[in-house]
Amino acid sequence: MSNFLLSLIIPVYNEENNIDALIARILNVIAKYNYEIIFVDDGSKDSTTDKIKSHTQKNQHIKLISFNRNFGHQMALSAGYKICKGDCAVTIDADMQDQPEIIPEMVEKWQAGAKIVYAKRNNREVDDPFKKLTATWFYKFINFLSDRPIPQNVGDYRLIDRAVIDFLNQLGEHAPFLRGLVAWSGYPEDYVYFVREKRHAGRTHYSIAKMINFALDGITSFSAKPLRMATYMGFLAATFGFLGVIYAIIGKLLLPIPWVTGWTGLFVGIMFIGGVQLITIGIIGEYISKIYMEVLNRPHYIIKEKVNL
C-alpha cells in the first residue's frame, strides 16, 4: 500500500521550547508521506498554543486541538484518535525522548500486516533508577493481575491501524488506560526498537502522584483480581484471629502456663486487622469511584479551539 494517510498525534502540555525543533525533526522524517500532524494541547499555560498556531498557518497539514483545561495525557490521546482521519496513526510525546526517525520502520511493519507496532525501548539509561525500577515492577504487577499481558518497556509511542483506532473510539470509558486497551484488543502486533534519548527541553510533567494515579487506573481498569485479593486478605486475617482465640483458650484452660496479658500482642493484632480493613476499603473505593465517574457520564474533555480541522 503506497497511497495512505498517516496521522501523527502529539499531546502537549507546556512544551513551548520543544515545538519548533520537534516539528522540524518530524517533517524531515514524514515529508514523503501523505500526512497530518494533530497537536492536542492539554491546557498549556505557556506559549505552546501560539507556537503551534504559527506552524498551522504555514502548513495546512499541521492541526491543533486545544482543551479548556488540563484533562490528562490519556484524554489528549483519546481526542487525537477521535479526530484523526489516517489509515494509521502514530502517537508520540513532544519531549523528543522518543525518536521520530523510526516512524518509517513502523510504517513498514504496518504495511507488512501488523495492526499494532510498538516502539520498544532497548535502552533506558537516560531514565533515573527510581523510574526504571517502578516501571519494571508496575508492568510485572499489572501483568500478574491482567488476563492480557501489556508489553514492557513501551510507552504511548506506537502505530495503530484504522481498525484499532475505530475500536478505541467505540469505547466510552472515562479513565481509559490506552496502553492496556491497545494490547487487550488482540490485533496482530510487532515491535520496532530504539534508544531512548534525553528530554530536549523543559522537565517532565509526570510527578510521583500522577504516576501512582496512572498505575491505579491501569490496575483497576483491567482486572477485578484486587477485589479477590482483598477477600483473601480478609480470610487470612480472620484465620489468624480464629487461631489466636483457640490458642488463648487452650493456654488458659489446659496448659500449665501463666496467663499474661501483653499490650504488644494486642497492638500488633489491632494494627494487622486495621491494615487489612483499610487496604480492603481502599481497593473497593477505587472500583466504586470508577463506577461513580461512569454513572455521571460527564464529557471526557472540553475542546476550546480547533485549527485546520
Q: Where is pLDDT greater, at 66 or 246?
A: 66
Q: For residue 246, what pLDDT band results from cuts at 50, 70 and 90? A: confident
Region of poorest pLDDT, from 98-107, 127-136, 225-234, 293-302 = 127-136
Give the percent of the chain with pLDDT over 90.
Answer: 39
What pLDDT does residue 76 have? 93
- pLDDT at residue 59 is higher than 70: yes
Confidence band (pLDDT; 50, 70, 90) for 300?
A: confident
The full set of domain ranges for the chain reads 5-203+299-307, 225-296
The pLDDT of 86-108, averaged and rounded, is: 92
Taking residues 158-162, what's their average pLDDT? Answer: 96
Q: Which numeric CATH code is attached to 5-203+299-307?
A: 3.90.550.10
Task: Categorize the per-residue pLDDT at 225 as very low, low, confident or very high, splitting at 50, 70 and 90.
Answer: confident
| Confidence class for position 251, pLDDT limits 50, 70, 90 | low
Q: Residues near 119 by Cβ (< 8 Å), separated by ≥ 6?
A: 98, 102, 106, 154, 155, 157, 158, 191, 192, 193, 194
DSSP strands (E only) in the chain: 5-12, 34-41, 62-67, 88-91, 116-123, 154-161, 189-195, 303-307
The answer, yes or no, to whether residue 228 has pLDDT greater than 90, is no
Give the separation between CA 55 and CA 78, rounded to whole angstroms.
Answer: 23
